[in-house]
Chain A
């Protein structure tokens, strides 16, 4: 039973199982069917979508119109592949000759794409232009050139044969350059490289100036005068001559140079000479010998610099001569000539290099003499050693001539020079105090310093110092008039010889953006013992700002102010003047401060110098200190603070007004606002902001003086107040009143002059309008 049961069970189970399985199968089948259906559906949708995609992707993929494919295809390939474009099919031309727009008819995509292509080409052109504008080092990259060429073709499909020729020439050139690019000798590599080291006239002048300065304390040797004679062609000479403040260092430097040269010679003497010759050659046929020069560069890049410099400045012929000279010089040691150039052998060294063309014989003579001149160098040159080992930094060289220097002899770079960011100038300023630089950079050789590409040295020098001479100075002494005691930036000196500006000079390393012009702002603070109600004032033209710093705000009641109350200690105004200075100017400024410090130091023998302007005006003898002068005039003239400072004391003192007045300070308004004010009051427009301000302020005197109404905003209100006060003014005078009421024609100039005596400087135009509107007969007759 059990079995049967079990069998039954089994049968039952089997039945159940088969049933179960069948249902399973069914469901499975259903699932499969469903899946297949889904697959089919998705496939359909995908195919549908694919059609869409193909429609978007463009003409190339799926275009069910075979006839059309060929025609736009032709056109397209013609326009896209520039090379095939040269032979634009005559068939296409014929096809579309009658109706050019037939191609586009009924197909928006074509039009869009055509437009897109046009825009794209224009964009590429623009881009090329902008990039070329950004850095002058490289004209166009290869890709840009290609793009340009393409765009040219695209826009002018029908080019003349000559243009086609020129285009093909360009492409050929590009290809050629591309090939040459690979070995780094092409135009492109050169163009991408930094600009040449040629010094401009300005730089040379700068150099000369400094040189003169240097030479002032020094006995000018005959050789030096010769150097001076070599004006434009001798930038190198000048740089080197700078580096000769002392005989000692100078000899050493020359030694170093020699060591370098001899280094080259000893290591690769043959290459060196051949390099010279080949380099001359390389100007005509480009850069096959570059690799050899590169080798030399490895040995000493300063040497390379010299060569490149000379190569830039000198024509080929002289180069040949030079090479010959050099060769000969090495061969002929003319010791006799040593004496003549002993005093300044270095400059003499440089003369022949630049003057070769003119004085071939002389140069030969000189160079030979120099080559052999210092016995030390000759001996040292025999020893092949590294440059650094030879060079001893000339620490003891006198530094009096460089206007600003460090207090510590340790190599802390606090160059107060505002380094101009131009490449050439940077170079110059870098070597303005060459000795110091040589110390800090441990570069010893001035020749090495000439290298602007040596980035580590350049970085050191590229400091831009925004000097903010921010001195908080308190003066205790009082002058006769208590109004103003101007204390200028104090100058301390820690060293006996060297002066330093104590002010916190923020140092900024500026490694990039060399071409960008920098605004240098100099801020000075003056403490004036008086009450000044100073409005913030910007003078854009002259580039300085005037701010009154927040102190204890003392509002002067102009009516109740007692003259003596100014002596109150509390009445301190700190005026901060921020000045925009030019790069060179700022240098002068610091120089001036140094001088100031020197002067004061000389006068008072004090470490801290306090300059009082009113009591010791002689201290200010510097022509360019406008601010100081203004403040001086200001302080002298402003005996009573209630008085508004007249414009004759200073042009800018309009902003400085004492007392509370309702006058609008028109100087604070922008030019546009001034114009609006003119329009509002229907004043006759005048030229120039200054004049506008004066006109407005004079006119506004008429209503602010009379009553305390707010400033009229309409023409009617304006006329009401101004005419009212003018009428009262004129009516109070019998002479003018009778003139008017008896209808006598007035002469506007006379009326103006008379009104002027009453304190109102009005324009004739305005008075004319006043007369007209009031029925007073007036003429402009002189």
Chain B
């Protein structure tokens, strides 16, 4: 399976932003040469690891191809990036810890390009980045696949103390594609996807098929736009979005609640109105109606995905590959 060409990053292709279901930055370690590390980003870690190890012929894995370094082990994945761009930014910062703007000068533990080559340094840098002014606003989580890495996080050798949403697990366990693990209660790659699929079908049903009102501003939500001319330029799309009042709509994904909201209404609700804090709400909030815990990232994902779903046909947007969304697409087709 070839690595997909990254679409939507071209400056002129109209692309609606959709929060990806998974995007992660990972750290590899060479098993024969434990001092060698590799940092990359992917929406699909198992596939990417196979590429690195040469199990998949297709797909670039140039840096890890050198003889004597394979096989590679995945030590950790920082994931739940809300956009591919932010994941790439994290990847770049992680690769250039000694010069990234996201780590303050005085906090740096990697002073130059050659320093910071131990596992402890890598872990500490991840911790530093996660608490940086930028990335701490993102709903990031960390998967740790090795006990040593976990211990390193816990030991906190460089006193980069920060709250990291850690999940210590086993790589193969987490990304297991075995059918037998399907019903395991442990959070895993598979359960994650099934959950998201459920939420997606729920949202479609609630928002598109129904005629809801925003539970906060009580405005009726009309998701059916007037058919307009196809849009082939990014600027046109931006103008369209600015001119047409097409608010993002999301939904409480608690199956018992399913209240529909304007994303901006929720955003204002979840943030301080004085503007002194970031406009992005906290990672987890309580639903205004049912008080259920809601991840903001999921809410944003629902909203952006709904918008994409509604607009892509009416605007005849070029087909946009949503990262790792094959399942959804096929499911959606099946569903409809």
A773 to B19, CA, bound (A): 21
A738-B248, A772-B133, A777-B89 are known contacts. Are A731 and B297 too (CB-CB below 8 A)?
no
Question: Is B137's beta carbon under 8 Å from chain A?
Answer: yes
A388 to B135, CA, bound (A): 96
Contact: B280 with A775, CB < 8 Å?
yes
A743-B138, A777-B82 are known contacts. Are A737 and B101 too (CB-CB below 8 A)?
no
Find B17's partner among A730, A737, A744, A775 (CB 8 Å cutoff). A744
Q: Provide the residues of chain B in CB contact with A731, threshold 8 Å.
A: 268, 275, 279
Contact: A742 with B247, CB < 8 Å?
no
Nearest CB on B from A717, distance (A) = 11
Contact: A743 with B248, CB < 8 Å?
no
Contact: A741 with B281, CB < 8 Å?
yes
0/1 per residue, B101-143, Cβ < 8 Å to A? Answer: 1100000000000000000000000000000011111100000
Nearest CB on A from B84, distance (A) = 8
Question: Is B195's beta carbon under 8 Å from chain A?
Answer: no
Question: Is B304's beta carbon under 8 Å from chain A?
Answer: yes
Contact: B248 with A742, CB < 8 Å?
yes
A725 to B83, CA, bound (A): 26
Find B279's partner among A720, A774, A777, A779 (CB 8 Å cutoff). A774
Contact: B134 with A773, CB < 8 Å?
yes
Contact: A723 with B263, CB < 8 Å?
no
Contact: B136 with A775, CB < 8 Å?
yes
Contact: A775 with B278, CB < 8 Å?
yes
Question: Is B300's beta carbon under 8 Å from chain A?
Answer: yes
Question: Is A740's beta carbon under 8 Å from chain B?
Answer: yes
Contact: A724 with B17, CB < 8 Å?
no
A737 to B274, CA, bound (A): 14
Query: B179-218: which have CB < 8 Å to A?
Result: none
Question: Is B303's beta carbon under 8 Å from chain A?
Answer: yes
A735-B242, A772-B102 are known contacts. Are A744 and B83 too (CB-CB below 8 A)?
yes
Query: A726-756: which have CB < 8 Å to B?
Result: 726-728, 730-731, 734-735, 737-745, 750
Q: Provide the residues of chain B in CB contact with A776, threshold 8 Å.
A: 137, 278-280
Q: Provide the residues of chain A in CB contact with B245, threshold 8 Å.
A: 734
A201 to B17, CA, bound (A): 71
Contact: B280 with A740, CB < 8 Å?
yes
A735 to B238, CA, bound (A): 9
Q: Provide the residues of chain B in CB contact with A727, threshold 8 Å.
A: 275-279
The closest CB in chain B to the CB of A730 belongs to B279
Contact: A723 with B134, CB < 8 Å?
no
Contact: B278 with A742, CB < 8 Å?
no
Question: Is A782's beta carbon under 8 Å from chain B?
Answer: yes
Query: B3-24: which have CB < 8 Å to A?
Result: 9, 11, 17, 19
Q: Provide the residues of chain A in CB contact with B303, threshold 8 Å.
A: 742
Find the residue from B136, B242, B278, B279 having the highest chain A CB count within 10 A: B279
Q: Provide the residues of chain A in CB contact with B267, threshold 8 Å.
A: 737-738, 741
Contact: B242 with A775, CB < 8 Å?
no
A740 to B303, CA, bound (A): 13
Find the residue from A737, A741, A744 having the highest chain B CB count within 10 A: A741
A738-B248, A743-B300 are known contacts. Are A777 and B83 too (CB-CB below 8 A)?
yes
0/1 per residue, A752-782, Cβ < 8 Å to B? Answer: 0000000000000000000011111101011
A728-B275, A744-B17, A776-B280 are known contacts. Are A737 and B264 too (CB-CB below 8 A)?
yes
Contact: B86 with A724, CB < 8 Å?
no
Contact: B17 with A742, CB < 8 Å?
yes
Contact: B276 with A724, CB < 8 Å?
yes
A775 to B241, CA, bound (A): 23
Q: Provide the residues of chain A in CB contact with B257, threshold 8 Å.
A: none
Contact: B138 with A775, CB < 8 Å?
yes
0/1 per residue, B255-293, Cβ < 8 Å to A? Answer: 000000001100110000011111111000000000000
The closest CB in chain B to the CB of A720 belongs to B276
Question: Is B85's beta carbon under 8 Å from chain A?
Answer: yes
Query: A32-85: which have CB < 8 Å to B?
Result: none
A742-B248, A743-B19, A775-B134 are known contacts. Are A735 and B241 too (CB-CB below 8 A)?
yes
Q: Provide the residues of chain A in CB contact with B242, threshold 8 Å.
A: 735
A52 to B21, CA, bound (A): 99
Q: Provide the residues of chain B in CB contact with A774, threshold 8 Å.
A: 133, 137, 278-280
0/1 per residue, B286-318, Cβ < 8 Å to A? Answer: 000000000011001001100000000000000
0/1 per residue, B231-247, Cβ < 8 Å to A? Answer: 00000001001100101
The closest CB in chain A to the CB of B234 belongs to A747
Nearest CB on B from A85, distance (A) = 59
A750 to B237, CA, bound (A): 13
The closest CB in chain A to the CB of B278 belongs to A774
A741-B300, A742-B304, A777-B82 are known contacts. Are A772 and B275 too (CB-CB below 8 A)?
no
Nearest CB on A from B273, distance (A) = 8
Nearest CB on A from B279, distance (A) = 5
A214 to B23, CA, bound (A): 85
Find the residue from A720, A745, A773, A777 having the highest chain B CB count within 10 A: A777
A731-B279, A734-B247 are known contacts. Are A781 and B264 too (CB-CB below 8 A)?
no
Q: Provide the residues of chain A in CB contact with B276, threshold 8 Å.
A: 720, 723-724, 727
A773 to B137, CA, bound (A): 9
Nearest CB on A from B255, distance (A) = 23
Nearest CB on A from B223, distance (A) = 15
Q: Provide the residues of chain B in CB contact with A734, threshold 8 Å.
A: 245, 247, 264
A723 to B82, CA, bound (A): 22
A735-B241, A737-B279, A745-B86 are known contacts. Are A775 and B133 too (CB-CB below 8 A)?
yes
Q: Provide the residues of chain B in CB contact with A781, threshold 8 Å.
A: 9, 11
Contact: A742 with B300, CB < 8 Å?
yes
Find B263's partner among A728, A741, A773 (CB 8 Å cutoff). A741
0/1 per residue, A593-611, Cβ < 8 Å to B? Answer: 0000000000000000000
A741 to B268, CA, bound (A): 10
Contact: B134 with A745, CB < 8 Å?
no
Find B275's partner among A724, A741, A744 (CB 8 Å cutoff). A724
Contact: B134 with A772, CB < 8 Å?
yes
Q: Provide the residues of chain B in CB contact with A738, threshold 8 Å.
A: 247-248, 263-264, 267
Contact: B274 with A724, CB < 8 Å?
yes
Contact: A725 with B304, CB < 8 Å?
no
Q: Provide the residues of chain B in CB contact with A779, threshold 8 Å.
A: 85
Q: Provide the residues of chain A in CB contact with B11, threshold 8 Å.
A: 781-782
A724-B276, A731-B268, A750-B238 are known contacts. Are A743 and B83 too (CB-CB below 8 A)?
yes
Find B82's partner among A735, A743, A750 (CB 8 Å cutoff). A743
Nearest CB on A from B170, distance (A) = 30
Q: Provide the residues of chain B in CB contact with A745, threshold 8 Å.
A: 17, 83, 85-86
0/1 per residue, A653-669, Cβ < 8 Å to B? Answer: 00000000000000000
Query: A689-743: which have CB < 8 Å to B?
Result: 720, 723-728, 730-731, 734-735, 737-743
Find the residue from A725, A731, A745, A775 having the highest chain B CB count within 10 A: A775
0/1 per residue, A474-515, Cβ < 8 Å to B? Answer: 000000000000000000000000000000000000000000
Q: Provide the residues of chain B in CB contact with A725, threshold 8 Å.
A: 275
A266 to B134, CA, bound (A): 101
Q: Provide the residues of chain A in CB contact with B296, threshold 8 Å.
A: 741
Find the residue from A734, A738, A782 having the highest chain B CB count within 10 A: A738
Contact: A742 with B136, CB < 8 Å?
no
A623 to B280, CA, bound (A): 56
> Mind listing 9 A-B residue pairs with CB under 8 Å?
A720-B276, A726-B275, A741-B267, A742-B19, A743-B86, A772-B101, A774-B278, A777-B83, A777-B89
Add 20 more A-B contacts to A743-B280, A776-B137 (CB < 8 A): A723-B276, A724-B276, A727-B275, A727-B276, A727-B277, A731-B275, A735-B241, A738-B247, A741-B281, A741-B300, A742-B17, A742-B303, A742-B304, A743-B297, A745-B85, A745-B86, A772-B134, A774-B137, A776-B278, A777-B83
State the 6 A-B residue pairs at the shortest beta-carbon distance, nearest first.
A775-B137, A743-B82, A727-B275, A744-B17, A745-B85, A728-B275
Which B residues lie at the A interface, using CB under 8 A? 9, 11, 17, 19, 82-83, 85-86, 89, 101-102, 133-138, 238, 241-242, 245, 247-248, 263-264, 267-268, 274-281, 296-297, 300, 303-304
